[in-house]
Each structure stands twice: as C-alpha cells, then as structure tokens.
Amino acid sequence: MATRGHGHGHGHGGSGSRTRVGRYELGRTLGEGTFAKVKFARNVENGENVAIKILDKEKVLKHKMIAQIKREIATMKLIRHPNVIRMYEVMASKTKIYIVMEFVTGGELFDKIQASRGRLKEDEARKYFQQLINAVDYCHSRGVYHRDLKPENLLLDASGVLKVSDFGLSALPQQVRVSMEDGLLHTTCGTPNYVAPEVINNKGYDGAKADLWSCGVILFVLMAGYLPFEDSNLMQLYKKIFKADFSCPPWFSTSGKKLIKRILDPNPATRITIAEVIENEWFKKGYKPPVFEQADVSLDDVDSIFNDSADTRNLVVERREVGPVGPVAPVTMNAFELISTSQGLNLSSLFEKQMGLVKRETRFASKSSANEIMTQIEAAATPLGFDVKKNNFKMKLQGEKTGRKGHLSVATEIFEVAPSLYMVEVRKSGGDTLEFHKFYNNLSTGLKDIVWKTVDEEKEEGNIQIESTS
C-alpha cells in the first residue's frame, strides 16, 4: 500500500469536525489494506502535508510482529535518500500505531508510461531505473530489503523525481510472512509477475538478488510497455518465470537487452549483482550519483510505541475537533480539492472514460441524489457476488470468491461537488488490480443510468437527438 499522493485535499467527515492525532489533522483515506490504512494529513504546526499509515495494534500483536516491526521502523527512520519515501515519526494510541510519512504529489511512474504512448524511450527509462537502483542499493546497504517491488510502489514527486514507497514496511503483515529461523526470508507473494523465481519457490532467498529481479522486470515494462512474463494460467506463468522464458522487443538496444538478460537470470547464484549493474556500460550512461543530506535522527519514538508500561504520556489520542455529529451529508469538496483530485489539474480526468488503464481507484460524476447512488451501487454490486456494508456515504464491497490475491474488496465514497452534483470514488482496497478493473467495468454497466455524461458523450452514444431549430 503506497502513500500515493494524487494531491488529495482533505475530505472531512461530517461538517466542521476534524480528527487530530498529535500535531496532525487527518484528512481523507488514500488507500487501505488488511492491516493498515493510509490517510492524508496536515502538520498543523508548519502546514506540511504528510501521509499517515495507521496500523491496528491488536492485529500486529496477534501476528507476533512486534520485534520485526520495531526493527523495520527504526531502520526506516534512519534511511534518508532522495529516492525513498521518508518516514518522519511514529506515534501510538492505545489501539493504533501511526507512521508519519512523506506525501508525494506527482502520481505513479506507471501513469507516466500510459501518458507517453505506453512506453518510455530508453534514455528516460534508464533515468528512472538508475534512481530505482540507487534507492534499492542504499536500503540494502542498511540491511533493509523491499521484497515487494512493483509499479504501485514507484511514485513521482512534483519535480518528477522517483520515490520508492513501502521500503522496509514490506515486513509489516501484508500477507504474514513465514519463519526466519534459517536466516533466509520466506514469503507468500501477491501477483507473481514481478517476483523472482526463488521467492515463488519459497526456498528461502537472498533479499538483494530478489529485489534486483523485480527491478529488472520493472525496467522491461518501462521500455516495452508490457510484462516480460504473462499468462492467464498461473502454472504456465510460473513455468515461464522459472525458465526466464521471455524475449525483448526489437526496439531495445543491444546493450539494454544484454543487461536485462543478466538481471532476469532465474538462477540467483549467477544473476548479476547490483554492484555489477552500477558498473554496466548501458547503466552508466548519463548516471548521476545521488546527493545525500545527513541529519541526526532520534529513535525514541520507536521504542515508546510498544511500551505498555504505566507511562502513557507518550500515547497520542485521536480527538475529533468539535462540529455537528452524525451522518450529516456527504463530504463536500470545494473547487480546489476537486481540481487537486484530478491529476495534472486536468478536470477531464474526473469524468475519465477508463482507457483500459489499470488504476486502483477511479471516479465518476453523477447528478442523482447521494442515497440513490448508494442504492444503485448496491443493486449493481450484489449480483456480481459482493457483500455490501454501508456507513454514512461510504460503502465497502467485499468479494465472496477468492481471486488471485485473496478477496477483491472495494471501497466507495461519495463527495458533493456542487449542489446536486456528486463525485463517486471507487477504489480497490484489497485483491488484484486487474480483477478490480474487470469488476469496475461490470459495475459501470449497471450504473449507466446514474453516471453523468457530458453532452458530447451523449451525442457520441446517440442517446441525444440534436434539435433542429426550425
């Protein structure tokens, strides 16, 4: 779950009520997973925007993750690298752990590929790959492995600099990892497309070599615009990955092809190392080593979040600042928030027709009343095999059958954009991105009566007769 900043403003619940944690005012949810959700927040002392990952203490304790989480958080706090999302501080209340992180606004690297006709030119791909390798190499030198590098972890800041998110937090129980007694990592993996063969094999593996494999797959996708290993049949896909059965498209340069073949070597013992990648001729072209800032970092807060001693001075409390309570109305968004929600200040993306683009959240506008929208979503989702839970103007849809990555779950929220114009946000909170996509396409067929179309779209679909002025 990345702290992905699509420049989200704060959607506040109720009217005028805001939640404060320590010196942060919480805004809207940016993403959620089984153990954690990520919210946009603002530091009220300096006005800085941050993302806060909120973990449920109970679940963490239940999965005996304390020592590991403490270690990872402590290490993450020490990591300061221009291409890694910064972790600022950790706080805890009686029931929750709050991890305060840097918030970036440039969207995802992969949205950029879509924008540039599906793939990047080799020089541009190399530039991002260099930044990715810098980040990964730096973290490895500090003993932190990502273990789950994939496109949704690659964000861009406002100046287009790559930032890798969720480094070191991958040991948080996303899918709880198995034993560490033989000193090797064991893991269960999500979508296997980016995962090294030895990880799928669950033989225990070297984190550095496995991360590099994922970087190789990412580089391939940046330059090709598609995945090196694809098959709708999972066993066939595994076979391809185990044999590194892929071929480079003709537009890759010879030296680029060579490097990718050395990285996507199914045998970790003969696979190229990161140190060798950095010395590679193709890699070195236009390479700028990263610039660091060194500063002293305190780890006091990391120890204090798990101290259940009598000293509760360190605990923060979630306070609701006063305002009317109860399900007043859907959250209203002002024009600024609306614009900042749509990436690149391009409003058309609010009402975007999905271009077969795999996003984990998508939005549509509607002129129906908020209650009507909820009723319709429920009516459309139920026959698709989803269990629907409602709370104010938010809904959670949980898929009944298990997909490739467990159950698909979807969160929807309705925002009032103007009197009688609503924006509905549908986002994946668990499961496989491609399955979410399929679900959204099916759902939108059922919702076509409530989706607000512009006159042009109506014309296009022939639903509107242009009146002749006779």
* Residue 278, domain CATH: 1.10.510.10
Q: How far apart are alpha carbons 129 and 148 in whole angstroms?
A: 16
Binding site residue list for ATP: 53
* Residue 383, domain CATH: 3.30.310.80
Q: How far apart are alpha carbons 91 and 314 in whole angstroms?
A: 8
Looking at the domain assignment, is residue 294 inside a domain?
A: no
Q: Same structural domain for residues 255 and 169? A: yes
Contact at 8 Å (CB) between 264 and 244?
yes
Which regions of 16-109 does DSSP assign to beta strands (E)? 19-21, 24-32, 36-43, 49-56, 87-92, 96-102
Q: Same structural domain for residues 234 and 346? A: no
Please give the single-letter amino acid code of residue 81: H
Which position among 56, 111, 137, 148 bears the catalytic label?
A: 148
Q: Same structural domain for residues 348 and 208? A: no
How many residues are recorded in the chain? 470
pLDDT digits (tens, 9 = 90+) for 32-58: 766 678 889 999 999 999 999 888 888
The listed range with the strongest mean pLDDT (224-238, 292-306, 456-470) is: 224-238
Looking at the domain assignment, is residue 174 inside a domain?
A: yes
pLDDT digits (tens, 9 = 90+) for 137-147: 998 888 888 88
> Where does the pLDDT of residue 466 fall: very low under 50, low under 70, confident under 90, or very high at 90 and above?
very low
Q: How far apart are alpha carbons 340 and 263 in whole angstroms?
A: 39
pTM for the model stands at: 0.64
| Average pLDDT value for the chain | 77
Please give the single-letter amino acid code of residue 72: E
pLDDT for 444 equals: 81
Looking at the domain assignment, is residue 199 inside a domain?
A: yes
User: How big, in percent rounded to 5, are the helix, strand and coil portions of the chain?
Assistant: 35, 20, 45
Q: How far apart are alpha carbons 277 and 130 in whole angstroms?
A: 10
- Structural domains counted in the chain: 2
> Where does the pLDDT of residue 30 fall: very low under 50, low under 70, confident under 90, or very high at 90 and above?
confident
Contact at 8 Å (CB) between 154 and 109?
yes
Q: How far apart are alpha carbons 90 and 55 in whole angstroms?
A: 11
- Across residues 349-375, what is the average pLDDT? 67
- Which of the listed residues 225, 251, 284 is the one where a domain comes to its end? 284
Q: How far apart are alpha carbons 221 and 431 in whole angstroms?
A: 22
Helix (H) or strand (E) holding 409: strand 406-418
- pLDDT greater than 60 at residue 469: no
- Which of the listed residues 267, 284, 301 is the one where a domain comes to its end? 284
Q: Same structural domain for residues 211 and 273? A: yes
Using CB atoms within 10 Å of the CB of residue 26, give its burial: 0 to 12 exposed, 13 to 18 middle, 19+ buried. Answer: buried
- DSSP-derived letter for residue 170 is G
Which regions of 258-346 does DSSP assign to beta strands (E)? 318-320, 331-332
Q: Same structural domain for residues 437 and 354? A: yes
CA distances from 404 to 34, 40, 85, 174 (A): 16, 29, 28, 15
Q: How far apart are alpha carbons 362 and 38 in whole angstroms?
A: 17
More confident residue, 301 or 448: 448
Q: Same structural domain for residues 251 and 337? A: no
> Where does the pLDDT of residue 181 fall: very low under 50, low under 70, confident under 90, or very high at 90 and above?
very low
Q: Which two tokens stand for residue 85?
A: 């999302």
Q: Kindly give, in sequence order, each residue whose CB lies less than 8 Å from that of residue 77, ignoring residues fewer than 6 positions away.
A: 87, 89, 90, 297, 299, 302
pLDDT digits (tens, 9 = 90+) for 379-428: 888 888 888 888 878 888 888 766 555 678 888 888 887 777 888 888 88
- Coil vs helix vs strand at 423: strand
Looking at the domain assignment, is residue 325 inside a domain?
A: no
pLDDT for 150 equals: 84
> Where does the pLDDT of residue 306 fall: very low under 50, low under 70, confident under 90, or very high at 90 and above?
low
Q: Same structural domain for residues 232 and 157? A: yes
pLDDT for 218 equals: 95
Q: Kindly give, in sequence order, each residue whose CB lies less than 8 Å from that of residue 47, ignoring residues fewer than 6 positions away.
A: none
- Coil vs helix vs strand at 228: coil
Looking at the domain assignment, is residue 9 inside a domain?
A: no
Percent of the chain's residues with pLDDT above 90: 28
More confident residue, 310 or 121: 121
Helices (H), 155-233: 197-200, 207-224
Looking at the domain assignment, is residue 100 inside a domain?
A: no
- Across residues 287-313, what is the average pLDDT? 66
More confident residue, 109 or 468: 109
pLDDT for 203 equals: 73
Q: Same structural domain for residues 384 and 445? A: yes
- Across residues 7-19, what is the average pLDDT? 50
Looking at the domain assignment, is residue 16 inside a domain?
A: no
Q: Same structural domain for residues 132 and 256? A: yes
Q: Same structural domain for residues 148 and 230? A: yes
Helices (H), 335-387: 335-341, 370-381
Whose CA is closest to 154, among 109, 104, 214, 215? 109
Q: Which two tokens stand for residue 167?
A: 């480094």
148 catalytic? Reply is yes
> Where does the pLDDT of residue 124 fall: very low under 50, low under 70, confident under 90, or very high at 90 and above?
very high
pLDDT digits (tens, 9 = 90+) for 154-163: 999 989 999 9
> Where does the pLDDT of residue 358 fall: very low under 50, low under 70, confident under 90, or very high at 90 and above?
very low
- pLDDT greater than 60 at residue 300: yes
Using CB atoms within 10 Å of the CB of residue 418, give its burial: 0 to 12 exposed, 13 to 18 middle, 19+ buried. Answer: middle
Strand pairing partners for 398? Answer: 387, 409
User: What residue numbers bound the domain in which 401 lies?
Assistant: 331-454
Q: Give the rounded distance of the alpha carbon of 272 from its chain centre.
A: 29
Q: Which two tokens stand for residue 100?
A: 């305060």
Binding site residue list: 53
Q: Same structural domain for residues 173 and 118? A: yes
pLDDT for 242 equals: 95
Q: Same structural domain for residues 171 and 278? A: yes
Q: Which two tokens stand for residue 439?
A: 């679900």
Question: DSSP string spanning 87-129?
Answer: EEEEEE-SSEEEEEEE-B-S-BHHHHHHHTTTS--HHHHHHHH
pLDDT digits (tens, 9 = 90+) for 184-243: 444 444 568 898 999 888 777 888 999 999 999 999 999 998 999 998 888 999 999 999
> Where does the pLDDT of residue 267 fall: very low under 50, low under 70, confident under 90, or very high at 90 and above?
very high
Looking at the domain assignment, is residue 84 inside a domain?
A: no
pLDDT for 429 equals: 79
